[in-house]
Copies of this chain bind each other. A is one copy, B any other.
Amino acid sequence: MQLFASLPDRVTLVEVSPRDGLQNEPGTVATADKLRLVEALLAAGLTRLELTSFVSKSRIPQLADAEELVRALGPREGVRAWALVPNAQGYGRARAAGLTEMAVFVSASETHNRKNVGATIADTLARIREVASLARADDVRLRGYVSCVWGCPYEGEIAVGGAVALARTLVDAGCEQVSLGDTIGVGTPVQTARIVDAFARELPLDTLALHLHDTRGTALANALTGLELGVRTFDTSVGGLGGCPFAPGAAGNLATEDLVYMLDGMGVRTGVDLAALCEAGRVAQEVVGRRLPGKVLNAGPPVRRPS
């Protein structure tokens, strides 16, 4: 069949639950609980983690233990862990804590960017270039994020050209990979194909990751579309942790176990063990004290032919 004629053997998952997943949780999650979650994720075979963020401690109290978390985890063989750094000051803190991988971020929407970081896109890019210059000198590896690519809660649909230009700016500044985010989960497959196509005309596809939210149930269909078009890295969060915890059913991130289940069924390896991943999902549920929306987590193990 023509469809799925060129599926890859393997894709890479970046697990974002420790940072993106926990960031909006009400009530502070103890560092020890975060470590318990991270250890469960590592035990499931996830090796790339968005760990925390070195933003203002007063602004996001949930991530105020960034230093402690990074130091407690320490470097691990074969594991890559990123922290978000908004500026040179955050970079300095992350560097002092011993991190060698960091992530910079900007929104494709001017309004969202101002509300998110209190600066214009242009000023944010200037801060990113400053961080990138420090990273080059220190041999620190950088990842970039462009958020609101599929749509913005304030501006509605976003022009694809502008988002791709921002991705190019981040790559030119030194980012190894740029993760395009459907931050509010409005994307549908034709739009996803348009975004991936536009990116591929400007940059190599191995510099692209998709960061999809499942707010309207389309995240897996969008991931499938990206996969078919050559995307090989996806950001996901165990249990779908993330988004707004006060809107039951309105899921946040694409659940890692849902993507792994689909990919397992398609013969695409992730290096992740689904049963151990569901165990990590149960740890995540304990840590935040509520049921998470990930479907495979809730449905239990897949049905197998009785032996």
Contacts and interface: CB of A to CB of B under 8 A. Distances in A.
B188 A262 contact: yes
Given A216-B261, A217-B294, A249-B297, 17 more contacts: A1-B197, A3-B225, A156-B305, A157-B305, A185-B299, A186-B302, A190-B265, A191-B265, A216-B296, A216-B302, A217-B258, A217-B295, A218-B258, A220-B221, A221-B262, A247-B298, A248-B291
A30 interface: no
Nearest to A213: B299
A181 interface: no
Nearest to A261: B216
15 contacts: A1-B193, A3-B225, A3-B228, A4-B190, A153-B303, A156-B304, A186-B303, A190-B266, A190-B267, A191-B265, A216-B258, A217-B258, A221-B223, A224-B224, A249-B297
Nearest to A255: B217
Copies in the assembly, this chain: 2
A261 B185 CA distance: 12
Interface string A250-267: 110001001001101111
A297 B4 CA distance: 31
A242 interface: no
Contacts of A3: 193, 225, 228-229
A78 interface: no
Nearest to A152: B303
B295 A251 contact: yes
A295 B261 contact: no
B298 A248 contact: yes
Nearest to A158: B305
B4 A193 contact: yes
B218 A261 contact: yes
A298 B154 CA distance: 20
A184 B303 contact: yes
A245 interface: no
Contact of A298 (B249, B302, B305): B249
A189 B99 CA distance: 39
